[in-house]
Amino acid sequence: MDVLSLLLADSRFPGGGHVHSGGLEEAVARGLVTSERDLPPFLSGRLRGAGELAAVFAAAAAHAAARGVRSGYWLLLDAELDARTPSLAQREASRAQGRGTARAGRVAWPSPVLAGLLAATPRPHHPVILGALAGIAGTPPRDAARAAAYLAVSGPASAAVRLLGLDPLSVNAIVAALAGDLEAVAARAAASAGAEPADLPAPGAPALDLLAEAHVRQHKKKEVRLFAS
């Protein structure tokens, strides 16, 4: 694992990821996650749905950036991730984080490939821009996928500490226990990285989609929420 993938997976990376709880805040508000005991199943479900999807597209984007694809490819990848994200709330959360990551990326790692991606898709999905930044720097698809999958669980885990006052050491141990699953997700994502965009896997998770939609409704009702998603 290189420094770039450490940077991208760091919660202090200035991409705006810290304002997203990945559905955890809504789950807490509904009493679905109330204690440390509820966290592992929530994170596992998140990893196998949203996390796996993010890993698949991060790996594909890293593979594409490394081989210097034409800009038409980014449009195709964007449309394919849209089709795999039926929840409007999830699409908007992904593009909001993508935008933050793109801003940080433009300053840190300017390149013609990045310029081409942002010209084709000015509001990229988060996994795509994450994977592309990795690929531009020569980071392998598997590392990009691992970073995306890790972010899919580390964000909700730290949100759980803030929202429920859980013991940070226990929560850290819960995330650490996911290491094997994270590696498996990254390996599967790397295996499909070179596939045609239409043929990429499309893992979904209906409950998470419904939580994301409910979270947005609560925002609109001006219910107090700490996180954007």
Partner 1 sequence: MKAHARLTAELDPASGRTRLRELRSMAPLTLFPKRGGGTAQVHLVSSATTPLGGDELTLTVRVGPGASLRLSGVAATLALPGSHGEPSSAAVHLEVAEDATLEYLPEPTVVTARARHTATLTASLADGARLRTSEVLVLGRDGERPGGLVTTTNVTRGAVPLLRQRLMIGDPLLDASAAYLAGRKVLASEVLVWGADPAEAVGGDWWSVTPLAAGGTLLTVLAPDAVEAGARLAVARRHHPGWTPGCHDPVAPVTDQTVSPRSGNP
Between 50 and 69, how does the x/- string for binding to partner 1 read (CB under 8 A)?
A: x-------------------
CA distances from residue 106 to 48, 70, 159 in whole angstroms, order as listed: 30, 19, 28
How many C-beta atoms lie closer than 10 Å to residue 70's C-beta? 11
| From 1, 108, 177, 198, residue interacting with partner 1 (rule: CB under 8 A) | 198
Q: Pick the closer one to partner 1 by CB: 81 or 118.
A: 81
CB 84 to partner 1: min, Å: 5
Least spacing, CB of residue 20 vs partner 1, in Å: 14
Beta carbon nearer to partner 1, 5 or 84:
84
Question: CB under 8 A: which stretch of 3-11, 81-89, 109-117, 137-145 binds partner 1?
Answer: 81-89
Tokens 């219910």, located at residue: 223
Give the integer Cα–Cα distance in Å for 71 and 114: 10
Determine the Cα–Cα distance for residues 182 and 55; give it in Å rounded to an integer. 10
Task: Report the nearest approach of partner 1 to the CB of residue 1 (Å).
Answer: 26
Q: Is 10 left (phi over 0), alpha (psi -120 to 50) or beta?
A: beta
* Residues 88/213, Cβ–Cβ less than 8 Å: yes
Question: By the criterion CB under 8 A, which residues form the site for partner 1?
Answer: 23, 27, 30, 32-33, 38, 41-46, 48-50, 79-80, 82-89, 91, 198, 201-211, 213-214, 216-217
